[in-house]
Amino acid sequence: MSKIESFSPIIDANSHILILGSIPSVQSLQEGKYYGNPRNQFWKIIYEVLGQPFQEDYGKKVQFIKEHGIAIWDVIESCHREGSLDSNIKEERPNDFNTFLKSYPRIKYVLFNGTKAHDTFRRKVGFSFEDKIFHKLPSSSPAHTMKIGNKIEEWKVLLKYTQG
């Protein structure tokens, strides 16, 4: 079982929404890109919810989310995992959210991309941060078999947060 480590966050001083995954997939780690597996629906969902045409270029994707006040990171800093399935994650160690959220005080909304991210945060970090609103969303992973149209409908809560 391989030890893997998460990426640094995509964030800037204007970010007020933090979307947290569990930890990048094997393909994402190989490419050095968040949600780098083309079967993962994250970027398609984000563009659809925010009403913009999808962009293939990763740099444009990063710029797009920053323009909307969105940051991306992972709950898990490191773990052991065989393959890409969240169910194979062992010995997870969380990122340091106390320091992170103090460094980025504009973050008000914390959205979880899937149950694993949410449940790991609950167990390893906790929801005791003042002035933060937490929201669990369906996973954008291809392993989560909900139809993309249904995922998009649930992710539309993002619109409320980008405007607030």
Q: What are the catalytic residues? A: 40
Strand order through the sheet with 76-81: 2-5, 76-81, 90-94
- CB count within 10 Å of CB 56 equals 8
- 103's enclosing H/E stretch is helix 97-103
Strands of the 70-74 sheet, one edge to the other: 70-74, 17-21, 109-113, 133-137
